[in-house]
Structure formats: C-alpha cells, structure tokens
C-alpha cells in the first residue's frame, strides 16, 4: 500500500450515526485528508448515493458502496459491530491497510484477532477516541494509585437506548486504568452485576453500573468512595463529533506507519 500526501480515508459503517459524523470530521480536517470510500452492508437501501446528499452539500464524488479497494484507501476507520469489524480486519491484513477501530464489545477471540493483526498492519483501537476520556484515564490511574485500598471504586456509565454492549468499552477502559493504578487484576476484581442478597461489598472490588435510555451520547463517572469523603471523576459527551475528531486524528497519525499497535498516547501528542 502506498500512502498519498493526503491520506485517503475509508469509513466503514458510513450510513450510521457515527459513520456520518466521521464523514463530517474528515471533511472538517481540511486539505490534510481526503474521503476516499464510504462503505455499508450490501443490503443498505442507499447504496450508490453520493454521501454529500446527507448534508445537503455539493456532490463529493464518493458514493455509498458495499466494499472498498485497497488501491484507493490508506486508512480505514471502523465504528461498527464486532463481527463486521473482524471481517474488515481480515481484508485489511491481506492488503496491508491501516485501521482505526472504535468498535466495542469484542469477545476473547476477537481480541486475539486484534492482537494478531498488529503484526500485519498499523492498528489503533480504543473504546473511546475523545481527548477528554484520554485525560480521564490518566486521572483515574493516578487517583487509584494515591487512594489505594482505602477507597471503594465504582464506575457508572450511561448511553442511548440503541447501544448493544455493556459495560461500554469506555467504562472498561476506565476500569483497566483504575485497576492499573491500584495494582490489581481487573478481571479478578470486577463486579458487573448486583441483584438480590449480595452481601457486603468485597474489599478491593471494582464495580460497574450501566444505564441505557434516550439519546445519551455517553456519560462516564468513576467514583472513589471512602469513609467520610468521596471523589468523583466525570466525563459527559454531548456530541459524537468528539469521538470522530479523535478517530480522524488517529487516522492521520497511522498513515504510512509500519505494522504495530498504536495507542492514544501516539495520537494525542
């Protein structure tokens, strides 16, 4: 794959809410990027339509398609579903096309596939691409390291009624940050559900609570609850554009990079 002076971006799941926001973010990035492909499922009713129609803009020359060409795309951005993302990942590995992945809800097998792909392509994968969440992770890690075992840690997240995975990928990111700061294993300490007679809270556990409803873009709070005091670190997203801008910034950072896993520290320099 050759990288053009203006990296060519392909958006997977382009017809969805996040896909359309990503298209806007690519255009907003200006001359540094070009939208090269907008991809949807073969059954999508708007295949063949110029994506500029959605925004009442002049024709862009990019039509919604059921596939993408490695000859026309330098970096793919994918915020779809795990099964669709993994299929695209296999195709990207064959062509050497870099990928930015914001899809969440991967199972253990899916995560192994993501790890294996880093030997073939440049990959940036995250449960959240907003700058605010990136900073929040650092704060959570520091708070957990400072407060240690004296405070209980709870993570509360809220999303719109259409979100299908829980806890959110962002909540899990924050859980990993808290566990890292506290020096514990998240999977050994995580509590994802409480119902009935649960008994007293286990010392050192990390609790997750999930809210689904309305059109909430994404709210996350990490609570450190001690005796006589409580610290809450909160992030509230009011627009998907926050995530889209970060993903587009990641695409710019990946263009032309060798195979490997790239984190948000590589993006938000």
Told to judge if 257 belongs to the known catalytic residues of this protein, a careful annotator would answer no
Q: Which of 163, 235, 236, 257 is catalytic?
A: 163
Gap between the terminal Cα atoms of the chain = 26
DSSP string, 142-176: HHHHHHGGGSEEEEEEEE-TT--SSS-HHHHHHHH
Beta bridge partners of 260: 122
Rounded distance between C-alpha atoms, residue 141 and residue 131, angstroms: 16
Residues 181 and 144 sit within 8 Å (Cβ to Cβ):
yes
Told to judge if 44 belongs to the known catalytic residues of this protein, a careful annotator would answer no
Rounded distance between C-alpha atoms, residue 149 and residue 236, angstroms: 27
Residues 210 and 170 sit within 8 Å (Cβ to Cβ):
no
DSSP state of 49: -
Q: Which of 134, 159, 220, 235 is catalytic?
A: 159
Residues carrying an active site annotation? 159, 163
């Amino acid at each position: 794959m050759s990288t053009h002076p203006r990296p060519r971006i392909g958006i997977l799941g382009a017809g969805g809410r996040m896909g359309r926001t990503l298209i806007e973010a690519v255009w907003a990035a200006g001359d540094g990027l070009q939208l090269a492909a907008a991809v949807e499922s073969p059954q999508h009713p708007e295949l063949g339509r110029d994506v500029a129609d959605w925004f009442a803009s002049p024709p862009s020359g990019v039509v919604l398609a059921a596939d993408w060409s490695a000859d026309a795309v330098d970096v793919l951005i994918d915020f779809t579903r795990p099964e669709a993302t993994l299929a695209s990942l296999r195709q990207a590995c064959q062509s050497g096309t870099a990928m930015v992945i914001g899809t969440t809800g991967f199972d253990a097998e899916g995560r192994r596939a993501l790890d294996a792909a880093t030997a073939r392509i440049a990959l940036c994968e995250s449960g959240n691409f907003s700058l605010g969440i990136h900073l929040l992770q650092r704060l959570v890690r520091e708070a957990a390291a400072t407060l240690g075992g004296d405070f209980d840690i709870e993570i509360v997240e809220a999303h719109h009624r259409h979100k299908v995975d829980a806890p959110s990928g962002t909540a899990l990111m924050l859980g990993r940050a808290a566990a890292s700061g506290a020096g514990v294993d998240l999977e050994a300490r995580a509590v994802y559900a409480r119902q009935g007679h649960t008994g007293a809270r286990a010392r050192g556990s990390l609790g997750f609570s999930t809210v689904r409803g309305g059109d909430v873009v994404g709210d996350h709070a990490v609570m450190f609850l001690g005796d006589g005091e409580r610290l809450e670190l909160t992030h509230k997203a009011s627009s998907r554009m926050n995530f889209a801008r970060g993903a587009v910034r990641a695409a710019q950072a990946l263009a032309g990079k060798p195979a490997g896993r790239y984190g948000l520290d590589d993006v938000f320099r």
